Structure 1
């Protein structure tokens, strides 16, 4: 089995349009959640989200590209450019054929879908643009990144709701580890903040109207976000031989299914995923310094996750730091695990633990150290990133510092 390291990272999200901007916002405990701004927002009960407001499509892409790129694809391409530039890799020759792209998304081109449903059903038009299907398909972002960077190896898209990008990164990790690929571009992208996207989530009655407060007793629901994060996973010896700047090592991965309920999470399924990631990484519970929680801010998720961590880590659960950065950037659904991996890299590389902001009242059922409101300077050697999705699909990544 080969070792796998991360040599590039890129992002666009409500906290920042680059990795340095995002990490600075996380360090400061800033909120990227604001009033939503799009057509018919006044018809919604939920009017807040982690929306990217300063996104100038015309300055980033030409007219021919805009015709083909839904917003989620634009986010993915922009994040991929930052990640691949940082990695210093050029995908030519054998490296191109041994490198691919695996992305996670839940909705794919939902903005395109929403716009065209409106045109056909509300405005009564009988024709849509011939590129609607290639623009809205879930694999559009993956395919465009592969074409842009000459990535000819294994490439596909994963859609497992809120665990999509963790599942995608887990598959990329395994492909490099087993020797199927030398490098993989991986992560996730999502843009559900359109009228239909928010209206659908309203129906679940799990959304907050004012703020995301994970683990706080007075929490009242999740807040949606949008954006992307992309990483370059590379075989360790290949990265070392070319003198690459290594951000951290991907040490283990586990995925489980609750096989119980379509929306209610299971403590047992989540705990098995956490334990499986530790086992795969050959890490003991007491070696984990930080967990980036799924931490949606709903009572069902927060309580179940805390119980699962307690089960999997045993006595060490009282000592581990666990925060939810969704309190700052919102829940990016299929792209959320990718953005949250940035907080894990920051913990390992910079010794900064991102906080859970908006924390106001302790919850006896969430009695772990949730790093309330302020970041901490603490050096840790190993971390976990949790993702627990609707449908009972769980994916946990383990990462460690490279000394």
Structure 2
């Protein structure tokens, strides 16, 4: 018999807050984390805004030597991971066997800032001046690697890179590792930091981002008729997954149970989503959870605020849930956090867990004039009190990668 898997700890690093309480409070208030980019000159860019994390000091979490050897995405992932372990009341080697706890933190892009910095040094000063830490700082697996080194976690250690589906894939794969008895505890989620000249330029060239530069807080507007693209975010969302038996033995607080995981590939287009692939992903997650569509009370959507993406996901939800799609509450918290790319799935799973615990649904802000082709209940602008027993989180990535996680309110 496979293990039941529960969430016992969570940590966030976002533009809305660098701890759970601040983050949740700002979500419930419908606050936007989007502002004008100040970390470099954006005057020549078509998009000049992002959901940047302000006043982040890595030395609040690691000593200076360690921090200098980490890319910013690794710093975010490790900081959120340490917060999640503290929230779960876990001290590895004391109340958890080091060999039974693993790390699975993904990143959609990895150390883009380090890459850009060291490439500039190469061009300006030559190859002998490139840092010996360039490669180990930049590669996408280093949030998992560094966190295991910092904490002593010796169990399964891996990384997923599936663009914007990354965070959800790490949670689902970690659930399976626990269910199959390969670990008792997994530290999982996603981390991302791409708000750099090259990252901004790349997305601008795709014409994928909002150019509502004069009104940053209103730029991310999923399902609104006037949406014009996504807003880049950064940060991390890390969860502690644990077998129910292990959690009960140590008297852990349980936020929610992870009951379903679905994966699919569009096999369609590099960047243009196919609603059939997303619908199959949701259906597989519901089958895995052994529930019918009518059991779903809330969906945290991928909802990026792109004209094509929001419409495609709306179609997919209706395909997967049938008539129940019109009865379920749906919201996109990217309207507030921006699109955190590989970190999005981790953060949004945390939002779902807090929704189950607190009985409050985060709104889709800036939804002032709903697109007629996006015709579901998107919880516009104001948080809503509701009894949510089952929540679904969707994440879809470039390349046609789809991931869906289903959480349920914990019952012993």
Q: What residue in structure 2 maps to residue 15 of structure 1? A: 16
Q: Determine if the alignment matches structure 1 residue 120 to structure 2 residue 122.
A: yes
Q: What residue in structure 2 maps to residue 168 of structure 1? A: 170
User: 1:318-339 CA distances to partner (integer Å, 9 max, x unpaired)?
Assistant: 0001100000010011111111
User: 1:240-283 CA distances to partner (integer Å, 9 max, x unpaired)?
Assistant: 12211000000010100011111110111000000110110011
**Counterparts of 2:281 and 2:203, CA distance in 1:** 26
Q: Determine if the alignment matches structure 1 residue 262 to structure 2 residue 263.
A: no
**Residues 41/62 of structure 1: CA separation in 2 closer, same or farther (3 Å cut):** farther
Alignment root-mean-square deviation, CA: 1.3
Q: Determine if the alignment matches structure 1 residue 54 to structure 2 residue 62.
A: no
Please identify runs of 4+ aligned residues in structure 1 that moved more than 4 A: 122-126
Q: CA deviation at 1:37?
A: 1.4
Gaps of 5+ in 1: none
**Counterparts of 2:355 and 2:292, CA distance in 1:** 18
Q: What residue in structure 1 maps to residue 72 of structure 2? A: 71
CA contact (8 A) 1:346 1:353 kept: no
The within-5 A match list for 1:1-400 is 1-92=2-93, 95-122=97-124, 126-210=128-212, 211-400=219-408
**Counterparts of 1:298 and 1:119, CA distance in 2:** 36
Gaps of 5+ in 2: 213-218
**Counterparts of 1:42 and 1:150, CA distance in 2:** 45
What is the aligned residue count?
A: 403
**Counterparts of 1:122 and 1:363, CA distance in 2:** 49
**Residues 160/398 of structure 1: CA separation in 2 closer, same or farther (3 Å cut):** same
Q: CA deviation at 1:125?
A: 6.7
User: 1:340-372 CA distances to partner (integer Å, 9 max, x unpaired)?
Assistant: 112201210000100000111121111000000
**Counterparts of 1:125 and 1:181, CA distance in 2:** 43
**Residues 60/150 of structure 1: CA separation in 2 closer, same or farther (3 Å cut):** closer
User: 1:205-258 CA distances to partner (integer Å, 9 max, x unpaired)?
Assistant: 011022011011111100000000111000001111221100000001010001
Q: CA deviation at 1:59?
A: 4.2
CA contact (8 A) 2:101 2:155 kept: yes
CA contact (8 A) 2:8 2:88 kept: yes
Q: CA deviation at 1:65?
A: 1.2
**Counterparts of 2:341 and 2:348, CA distance in 1:** 11
Q: CA deviation at 1:63?
A: 2.7
**Counterparts of 2:29 and 2:125, CA distance in 1:** 45
**Counterparts of 1:345 and 1:187, CA distance in 2:** 14
**Counterparts of 1:127 and 1:72, CA distance in 2:** 23
Q: CA deviation at 1:380?
A: 0.7
Q: CA deviation at 1:124?
A: 5.5
User: 1:89-144 CA distances to partner (integer Å, 9 max, x unpaired)?
Assistant: 22228721121001120111111111112222256574111111111111111101
**Secondary structure in structure 2 of the residue aligned to 1:366:** coil
**Counterparts of 1:219 and 1:266, CA distance in 2:** 20
**Counterparts of 1:303 and 1:257, CA distance in 2:** 18
**Counterparts of 2:190 and 2:24, CA distance in 1:** 18
**Counterparts of 1:100 and 1:225, CA distance in 2:** 27
Q: CA deviation at 1:39?
A: 2.4
**Counterparts of 1:354 and 1:43, CA distance in 2:** 35
CA contact (8 A) 2:365 2:382 kept: yes
CA contact (8 A) 1:96 1:151 kept: yes
Q: CA deviation at 1:46?
A: 1.1
